[in-house]
Amino acid sequence: MTISIPSGLSNATVAVRNALERFPNNEPASLIFEPGIHDFYLDGCSKYAPKLSNNNNDERNVAIPIVDRNGLSIEGKGATLLFHGLITPIFIKGSSSITVKDITINFAIPLYIDAVVESFDEKHLSLAIDRNEYDYKIEGSPAAITFDTAEGKICSRDIYLNFIRIDERKNKTRDWGVLNAFVFLGDCTNNPAKLPAGRMFADVEATPTGIKMIYRPECPYRPFKVGEHIFIRDPESSGSPNVIMANSAGVIFKDVTMLAGPGMGFLGQMCNDITFDHVNIRPAEGKNISTNADAIHLVQCNGKVIVRDCNISHALDDALNVHGDYFRVEKVLSSDKLLVRAAAAHHSGFVPYSVGDELIINTPQPLKEKGRAVITAVETNDDETDIVLSFDRDISSFADEGDYTENHNHLPELLFERNKIDDIPEIRVATTKKVVIRDNIFNLCCTDLHFNDLPGFWWESSPSRDVEVTNNIFMRPGPNIRFDLARDCVPERCR
């Protein structure tokens, strides 16, 4: 069955929803977007609240939901899907043999602020903001900023701002980079502890050309450069990926271009076999950034991940991050049952286990394996933050409260070849399966290839031990390859 969506509709969201309702769930089908621009608005979006790793778990407005389907193809013939507001363009869950090809994803107004440094010293930072593109107001006492656009609120009161600093990138050397800082303005009530970046504390006032942040005494001094760009993001909207894949298999993205996104470009978790073929993630014409977070982020996936012939540039976080998650043993419930919870709040609600998985139990810092057992049942509470695991053997002899679990069953092989990566912090890989990285061109601002095992703030597992890196071009001076392994182990094969 094939259904075509003509361009020029007043709201493609409704047309897509009606088309998907007509498709049988388990028969091959094609949804074709005719060439041109397809405008998607909030009206008509489906509502989902998936439990996501490394993102918030808010209810999402989904334009193209692909749920419990087999053999569906989304084809664009070069069409542009233009999203208006905080929308998740594509949500794939519990599906298999899904292909998305020949489309461009863009947002009418990207959910970030592109500001320019006017002046700074140890007491203040003044930023120029284009009033024609970004509308904002200073309100409250102490004052905070509210950024509004025609398509939705960027930041609201009591939400800290996330500044991403990117230098002017003229000479393509390592004298520029990315600086993350969570900025707490006015009477922001968010907890500043345990954030993955530095903290800044300030009051704010309006200026004729933008805003002026006046540092509070506890704010560390950060040198900037007059004329450099500062990108301001709201951490809440930054937790909204463009494409979400969960518990799905055989997903292929081919000839897909992504020009903007409020959060990650692609987020996949507990998926089997994902291919990115000729995917192009870059800024739209006249813009400086593409996605507001990682371009591709894959959590506890398995099978094979292929990233081939892709161009990825100017995202505000990593080009690719592949990893598992550490969870903490909260209680030994019986001889064969454990209560576990996410070791980090940003993984809470995500369930990285399946019946039949062999779970590894580790001591706390430093990590050291204590034992293994096969999962026979997985139970959760309503919000899936408490996970009760049953096992095929007595685990009480080696499992203790405070231990950490990792699941190697849901980690993928990775083939990363013939890609071009520009002006992005890093590529991060943490998988125990085979990794092949070959024939790429890297032009990154931090470590090009970072093989990490992070039983710390991010709590991302596991150590890479079979790595082949061959015939790549590294455009910037080193270090280009870095191993951060949080335990007493070394790669078994690193070529």
What local confidence, expressed as pLDDT, does residue 487 receive? 62
DSSP string, 2-66: EEEE-TT-S-HHHHHHHHHHHS-TTS-EEEEEPSSEEEE-STT-EEE----TTS----EEEEEEE
pLDDT in tens, 254-266: 999 999 998 899 9
The model's confidence at residue 489, banded by pLDDT at 50, 70 and 90, is low
Q: Report d(CA 200, CA 222) in Å as an integer.
A: 9
What local confidence, expressed as pLDDT, does residue 257 receive? 98
Q: Which residues contact 477 (CB under 8 A, 6 or more apart)?
A: 173, 174
pLDDT in tens, 144-157: 666 665 455 554 43
pLDDT in tens, 98-129: 999 999 999 988 777 888 899 999 889 899 99
What local confidence, expressed as pLDDT, does residue 152 receive? 52
User: For 51-55, 145-149, 161-165, 228-232, which range has the lowest pLDDT when averaged over its residues?
Assistant: 161-165
Q: Report d(CA 354, CA 270) in Å as an integer.
A: 9
**Percent of the chain scoring above 90 in pLDDT:** 55
H or E stretch at 165: strand 161-166
User: For 152-156, 237-241, 312-316, 402-406, which range has the lowest pLDDT when averaged over its residues?
Assistant: 152-156
pLDDT in tens, 32-75: 999 999 999 999 999 998 898 888 788 899 999 999 999 999 99
**Percent of the chain scoring above 70 in pLDDT:** 84
What local confidence, expressed as pLDDT, does residue 168 receive? 44
The CA distances from residue 354 to 59, 64, 137, 190, 376, in Å, are 24, 27, 48, 35, 8
pLDDT at 160 over 70: no
CA dihedral of 355, 361, 367, 369, whole degrees rounded to 10: -110
Alpha carbon distance, N-terminus to C-terminus of the chain: 48
What local confidence, expressed as pLDDT, does residue 244 receive? 97
CA-nearest of 246, 259, 252 to 83 is 259
Q: Is 149 helix (H, G, I), strand (E, B) or coil?
A: strand
State the average pLDDT over residues 170-198. Answer: 55
Average pLDDT, the chain: 86
Q: Which residues contact 438 (CB under 8 A, 6 or more apart)?
A: 416, 417, 418, 468, 469, 470, 471, 472
Q: Report d(CA 30, CA 33) in Å as an integer.
A: 10
The residue written with tokens 């209680």 in the block is 331
Cβ(253)–Cβ(102) under 8 Å? Answer: no
More confident site: 57 or 141: 57
pLDDT in tens, 365-413: 788 999 999 999 999 998 888 999 999 999 999 999 999 999 999 999 9
DSSP string, 436-494: EEES-EEE-SS-SEEEE-B-SSS-EE----EEEEES-EE-S-S--EEEE-SSS---SEE
In Å, how far from its chain's centre is CA 194?
19
User: For 45-59, 73-87, 419-433, which range has the lowest pLDDT when averaged over its residues?
Assistant: 45-59
pLDDT at 164 over 50: no
Cβ(251)–Cβ(92) under 8 Å? Answer: yes
Q: Report d(CA 297, CA 55) in Å as an integer.
A: 11
List of E strands, 270-336: 272-277, 280-281, 296-299, 302-308, 311-313, 320-325, 327-334
How many residues are given for the chain?
495
pLDDT in tens, 20-36: 999 987 889 999 999 99
Q: 146 forms bridges with which residues in the sheet?
A: 137
DSSP string, 6-18: -TT-S-HHHHHHH
CA dihedral of 429, 231, 235, 285, whole degrees rounded to 10: -70
Q: Report d(CA 386, CA 388) in Å as an integer.
A: 7
The model's confidence at residue 494, banded by pLDDT at 50, 70 and 90, is low
